Structure 1
Amino acid sequence: MWNNANALNKLAAVLITVATLALAWAGVQWLARHPWFAIKTVRIVGDTARVNEITLRTSLVKRMRGTFFTTNLAEIKRSAEGLPWVRRAQVSRHWPNAIVIRLEAHQPLARLNEAQLVNTLGEAFTVNLGEVEMLAKLPEFVGPEGTSAQMSERYRVLRHHLEPLGLQPVRVLLSDRLSWTVGLQQGTVLELGRDIGAQPVEERLIRFAQYWDASIRKLGVPQRVDLRYRDGFAFYSPGLRVKAGPQPSAVRTQ
């Protein structure tokens, strides 16, 4: 080989190429770590109304290492998304020395099991409830773990059918047996039952909405309404009397 000029030329070319690439890589690494490219600006944009920017910046500074080229964006993203109210964060580099963090915040829909909130996408999240000013105005969801999306969808359906009647659902309860109970702002409790059999919950709601006005004109506003009947529903109220004692007053719909 050492007597083969052609082979020696090829080996020299390979060694020169490797050395050149190594020097180029070292140069890039040196340049990337140079103080010229230190991060000087962190911009936080998007849904920032409920985010404490001082807390976020402090958290980021602790985790931000390296320069514009070398800082770990994934770690910054995890740090931002670990803060209360932050649902999602997008982190990007902006030349020459800035990091931009775009936040998407949770939009609260309801309280959940006295410990969490549910956002408008049906996702449960945890914040300091003592700092939530609108807490008393939010409806309350009570149900098994992992059912926040199901309860949010049910709440949407309830509002669709009840609000045209002037009724506002403020408490939605889903039992372990998946039976629905709804408390209204007016004080009435609706027993809706389970989504099984020939009549699902929404069909019972439609029937209830159809006869609600006529029923309260005749019987007054009830304390409780049991919708778990095939062809009607029952009113319960201390003000309703049948014969000797408080009895339910049935409303037939056929």
Structure 2
Amino acid sequence: MKRAAKKKRDVLQRQTVRKKKKGKRPALRFRMIWSVCKGCLKGAGALLALALISFSFLSVYHYLITSPYLKLEHVKIGGVEKELKRQLLEMANIDSRASLLDLNLGALKNRLEVHPWIRSVELERQFPHTLVIRVQKQEPRAILLSEGMYYLNRYGEPFKKVGPAEDGDFPLVTGLGEKGNWVKNGLEKVARVMEELRQERTPWSLADLAEIHIEDQNHFTLYFEHMDAGIRVSGKGIRKEIRELRRVVAHLARSGKIGKVRAIDFGYADGAVVSFRKG
């Protein structure tokens, strides 16, 4: 009897343990589901918060660009004369209802710099109502003869074809032709020569220059208004060569030979070589 009772108790205990184990599985599943739901709720909350922040920013931005407190009322253009200001305002094509904050300055800069007489433009918003346009205007220093006539600026950049009614009273730059891929470098050197001559005094200044003829990358022949002779220079030390030119010309004038000079060449290491016309 004792064995039977013990056996019965063992069976009952095993059944109780099984029931307890079976009871744990639903609880574990519930915790897993709750954990997943809680993560989803957190993610949804974060997305909702982000959406609210974005909406707030958009609302504030929309308010600002439609607000009369930031309406564009004044456009100030500096660096150019009245007629060019008028042309730039037309090219800007700014809506009279535009917001200063909403202006696309990059696109506006690109539109204005298309003008052939404009080298560069800087734009600045001055809140609450003013747009400032600072203009660097092209300044012609010479006229380049190369498949037409083009104004050349102080940097050696051709920027505009010379029109029939436009000013042609500038030194000519000739000899460019098809010089290969050093054209840009050659024009930059021409610009440096002109800048050096601009600092010289008459009669050997840029204002007295009639023509610069490009021989090659490093040699140029200068023709001045008052002298019917070519002055060949290297372009490396033009100020020194002009000082020597003054000395040589003074000597030739004293000797009565200045009218017979055909060319003065400073392309030699040991000094200038003067050639004379025959007869």
CA distance in 1, matches of 2:95, 2:132: 15
Distance 1:3 1:23, change over 3 A: same
* Identical aligned residues as a percent: 17
Q: Does 1:181 align with 2:221?
A: yes
- Of residues 152-161 and 21-30 in structure 1, the stretch that sits farther from structure 2 once superposed is 152-161
Please name the residue that 1:240 is paired with. none
> Measured at CA, do residues 186 and 161 of structure 1 come closer, stay the same or move farther in structure 2, by a change above 3 Å?
same
* Aligned equivalent of 1:153, options 178, 182, 192: 192
Q: How far is the alpha carbon of 1:160 from its aligned partner? A: 5.6
CA 1:66/1:41 → structure 2, altered by over 3 Å: closer, same or farther?
closer
**1:43 and 2:81 matched:** no
Would you say 1:190 and 2:222 are equivalent positions? no
Q: Which runs of 5+ in 1 are unaligned?
A: 238-244, 247-254
AA partner of residue 213 (structure 2): L
Q: 2:42 aligns with which of 3, 6, 10?
A: 10
Query: Given the alignment of the two structures, is residue 236 of structure 1 paired with residue 276 of structure 2, yes or no?
Result: yes
1: CA distance between counterparts of 2:92 and 2:257? 59
Which of 126, 134, 138 lines up with 1:94 in the alignment? 126
SS of structure 2 residue aligned to 1:52: helix
Cα distance change on mapping 1:151 and 1:30 into 2, 3 Å:
same
Q: Which amino acid aligns with 1:151?
A: V
With 14-23 and 156-165 compared, the bigger mean Cα shift is at 156-165
Query: 1:71, CA displacement in angstroms?
Result: 2.0
User: CA separation in 1, counterparts of 2:234 and 2:239?
Assistant: 10
SS at match of 1:84: coil
Q: CA separation of 1:39/1:211 partners in 2, compared to 1, >3 Å: closer, same or farther?
A: same
Alignment check: 8 A CA contact 1:39 1:68 kept: yes
Map Cα deviations across residues 100-120 of structure 1 (whole Å, 9 max, x no partner): 211111222222225222223
Instruction: Quote the residue 2:256 is aligned against.
Output: 219
Q: Distance in 1 between matches of 2:199 and 2:129?
A: 50
SS of 2:212's equivalent in the other structure is: strand
- 1:139-185 Cα shifts (integer Å, max 9, x gaps): 22224242322112123345666747689322111035754221111
Number of aligned residues: 234
Cα distance in 1 between the residues matched to 2:63 and 2:216: 61
**Mapping of residues 100-139 of structure 1, within 5 Å:** 100-113=132-145, 115-126=149-160, 128-133=162-167, 135-136=168-169, 138-139=170-171
How far, CA to CA, are the matches of 2:103 and 2:117 in structure 1? 25
* Matching residue's letter, 2:194: Y
Structure 1 residue aligned with 2:16: none
Listed one character per residue, the Cα deviations across residues 164-210 of structure 1 (whole Å, up to 9, x for unaligned) are 768932211103575422111113222416679xxx87765544332
1:16–1:2 CA distance, 2 compared to 1 (3 A): farther
Question: What amino acid sits opposite 2:152 in the alignment?
Answer: V
Q: Any stretches of 5+ residues in structure 2 without a counterpart?
A: 1-31, 177-182
Structure with higher Rg: it is 2
1:48: how far off?
0.8
Quick check: 1:84–1:127 contact (8 Å CA) kept in 2? no
The yes-or-no answer on 1:82 pairing with 2:120 is no
